[in-house]
Amino acid sequence: MASLSNLRGHLHPSHSNKGGVGFIKISPEVSEALSNGYAVVALESTIISHGMPYPKNLETAREVEAVVRENGAVPATIAILDGIPCVGLSMEELEKLANLGPRAQKTARRDIAHVVATGGNGATTVSATMFFASMVGIPLFVTGGIGGVHRHGEHTMDISSDLTELGRTPVAVISAGVKSILDVPRTLEYLVCTKLSHWLQDANLKLELGTGILIAVPIPKEHAASGRLIESAIKRALEEARDKNIIGNAATPFLLARVNELTGGASLASKN
């Protein structure tokens, strides 16, 4: 917890978070924790709405929050509900989001204004979650796989806003790494180009350069799915996506769902 406090000091020297920041609703538990300097961990919500079916998504969300609590921190799941950005969800709000599923809009940073202005429900991606976490002074965010450069991205220019957010928002993101459906080598090259080289992390913090930090924690070997099985499913899913002209922010949910189907649930089990 001392390391987390030091990280907060580097990334957010000072902040005010009593009850909310501007138009953001902060749960009483999260607000109290931030005010008292306790450890808070931000969590995204796209994995709840678009990552798995109900009720598995709700069970997983509760389990993840429980793990955060067991390790002495306060979980802050982030989402937009009825046009209001929420940092820290109640059990009822988690249930609502899980029930909405893909009817909640997948919300990256660029989508926030639209979802808020229309009073919609938005499940935050890595970029939107980082944005809101930074606004309220949460320096640490834990997620599964991050977005990146899509395969054939050199032709489509399909690059996740997760990467640009990492280059401009001072939040440390702990992740299992880049989603396997993506072009991993090109994603790593992009990260280096956005000042996220791991050799510069310490200097980055001390100099307050305003960029995030990506900490990759590989999946434990005993929980990993067969690489050959996953890659075969990915290639088939990519072909189907091209045939159906599934592009943009619809691509990742389709690919993840289809790979899960083709692997008989093995990819989802590994993600969990």
- Provide the b/e sequence for 187-198 (b: ≥16 CB within 10 Å): bbebbeebebee
* Of 54, 96, 59, the residue nearest 79 (C-alpha): 96
> What positions carry a catalytic annotation?
44, 179
Query: Helix (H) and strand (E) counts for the chain?
Result: 14, 11
Residues β-bridged to residue 80: 85, 122
CB 132 within 8 A of CB 84: no
152 vs 208: CA distance, rounded Å? 34
Report the Cα 250 to chain-centroid distance in Å.
16
Residues β-bridged to residue 100: none
201 vs 213: CA distance, rounded Å? 7
CB 132 within 8 A of CB 174: no
DSSP 3-state of 58: helix
Helix (H) or strand (E) holding 106: strand 105-107
200 vs 205: CA distance, rounded Å? 9
CB 122 within 8 A of CB 115: yes
5 vs 9: CA distance, rounded Å? 6
DSSP 3-state of 175: strand
Report the Cα 170 to chain-centroid distance in Å.
14
